[in-house]
Amino acid sequence: MSFTLAIVGRPNVGKSTLFNRLVGKRLALVDDQPGVTRDLREGAAKLADLRFTVIDTAGLEEVTDDSLQGRMRRLTERAVDMADVCLFMIDARTGITPSDLVFADILRKRSAHVILAANKAEGAAADAGVIEAYSLGLGEPIRLSAEHGEGLHDLYVELMPIHDGFTERAEQQEPEVDVDLPEDFDDEDWDEENPPPYPMPTDKKPLQIAVVGRPNAGKSTLINHIIGEDRLLTGPEAGITRDAISLRFDWDGIPCKLFDTAGMRKRAKVQDKLEKLSVSDGLRAVKFAEIVIVLLDAAIPFEQQDLRIADLAEREGRAVIVAVNKWDLEGDKQNKLRDLRESFERLLPQLRGAPLVTVSAKTGRGIDRLHTAIERAYEVWNRRITTAQLNRWLSGMVEAHPPPAPQGKRIKLRYMTQAKTRPPGFVVMCSHPDKMPASYTRYLVNGLRTDFDMPGTPIRLYMRSQNDSNPFKGRKKAGPSKLRKHTNTRRSEK
């Protein structure tokens, strides 16, 4: 990426629509009502042969207090300071408003490169607004239609010289990375026969972590404390976060990608269209994540919605960590922790053994324990067990508790192997797999979880018949008359 472009402007001028068009995906929520975007969202933009980072910002409001709009404005001003180029968008059909004049003056003082864009400029109805945009003193405006993709060539022409300047500067400041090894380098410790036991996160494929939970549980505050900066909008109001915001950073040497999601309420309470979009965005983040942190409020833990969210993450096959926030407000911590563990084991038996970590997003206590739990959960999620170990274990399990014989048909467990990881999946070859009761499958899963030290991670166990690969299975046997007829036919042909 050569430079960073921040899209700023009043609410409802089309910033998120242009952001989605530049990144080529519907990442940002878009709706007709103003003020949909609240947090900063970054994306990898592509415009012809240009590659850069684009930031979608909240609509600028003329508010400077500590209200929600005031905090949104400060976050947008921070994006202006971070970005190399600012694209100031106005609504060509509405024309220049007093707020546009105020924000143009702010950008003139705070940004070195400002590009003026008149959005919604398709048709003759926008001509007056485009001409009026010259009065802002930011140069010639670009006529854009983010909805229909018009005017992107003009934006490309404006960004090209900026891109070339940043590319040349990056080449001059590029560090030396291709270094020859010294002559006394000892490579005896490197063992090509024994690679790492599971794929470690890299810069290209970072560890993807989604933080989910009910509204006002403290998800954004927790992520801000983890990354060490006020990157996400926070406050006492419930439901501030709307988009699933992704943030990249290195967490103690591990490349990570954190997803902050909108609070998920009960389905019956979600009536607003925008909230439905926010919840679906959060559910999509769970499906793409590898680790899911279910954040609870210590004052009201394990409500029905918390259980549903944790069960969703387990059904999606993600490694689950339960974090209890606002632990600094608890008085009797020992008794509370004992009650939490008892409730966890009773209400979420499918996640038995999953990490339960107490944290305080406000003070940062427990963040180290959370990091350790994430590393441990990721290792278990990628766990691979050899076939020999599994079959020795299976013989012991069957000897200790043989499978039942439904309808007098004895079920024989012949062979077991691991078919996949992330999450661990196992296949047992047996007779009559369709008659295997769910209780015996749970017995095997719980044994795998205990004997191979895989607490909390989802485990998939599939029963298969050894005859499934027989191509002649299900065909009727030929009777004696048919065999004689077939033989006579062959003789007459000869």
105 annotated binding-site participant = no
Q: Which of 90-94, 180-184, 343-347, 400-404 is predicted least confidently? A: 180-184
pLDDT band at 397 (very low <50, low <70, confident <90, very high): very high
Q: Is 335 annotated as belonging to a binding site?
A: no
Q: Is residue 261 part of an annotated ligand binding site?
A: yes
Tell me if 262 is assigned to a ligand binding site: yes
Is 326 among the annotated ligand-binding positions?
yes
- The 3-state DSSP composition of the chain as helix, strand, coil percent (nearest 5) reads 40, 20, 40
Residue 116 known to bind ligand:
no
Residue 167: both structure tokens together: 């590319």
**219 in a labelled binding site:** yes
Taking residues 60-64, what's their average pLDDT? 66
- 56-85 residues labelled b (16+ CB within 10 A) or e (exposed): bbbbbbeeeeeebbebbbebbbbbbeebbb
- The H or E element that residue 75 is part of is helix 68-82
Lowest mean pLDDT across 29-43, 47-61, 355-369: 29-43
Q: Is 343 helix (H, G, I), strand (E, B) or coil?
A: helix
Return the DSSP state at 150.
Answer: B
Phi, psi of 296 (to 5 degrees): -110, 160
What mean pLDDT is predicted for residues 437-451? 91
- 57 assigned to a ligand binding site: yes
Q: Is 31 among the annotated ligand-binding positions?
A: no
Beta bridge partners of 260: 211, 245
274 is in an annotated binding site: no
Q: Is 199 annotated as a binding residue?
A: no
Q: Does the annotation place 11 within a ligand binding site?
A: yes
Structure tokens, 456? 């909390």
2-170, which class in CATH? alpha beta
* pTM, two decimal places: 0.63
pLDDT in tens, 157-210: 888 888 887 666 555 544 333 333 344 434 444 343 454 466 788 888 889 998
| Stated length of the chain | 494
Q: Quote the tokens at residue 160.
A: 């090209």
205-380 and 385-467 share one fold: no
466, HSE (Cβ side, Cα atoms, 13 Å): 9
DSSP reduced 3-state for 114: strand
Q: What is the pLDDT of residues 231-252, one digit of tens each?
A: 665 655 555 555 557 788 898 8
| Residue extents of the structural domains in the chain | 2-170, 205-380, 385-467
Range list of β-strands (E), 168-213? 207-213
State how far the Cα of 263 lies from the Cα of 260, in Å rounded to an integer.
Answer: 9
CA-based nearest residue to 454, from 464, 462, 446: 446
Q: Using only the alpha carbons of the chain, give its radius of gyration.
A: 30
Topology given in CATH for the domain delimited by 205-380? Rossmann fold (3.40.50)
Is 268 annotated to bind ligand? no
> Hey, is 307 helix, strand or coil?
helix
Q: Is 121 labeled as ligand-binding? A: yes
187 is in an annotated binding site: no
Average pLDDT over every residue of 126-131: 88
Structural fold of domain 385-467 = GMP Synthetase; Chain A, domain 3 (3.30.300)
pLDDT digits (tens, 9 = 90+) for 369-380: 999 999 999 998
DSSP state of 183: T
Given a cut of 60, whether residue 456 has pLDDT beyond it is: yes
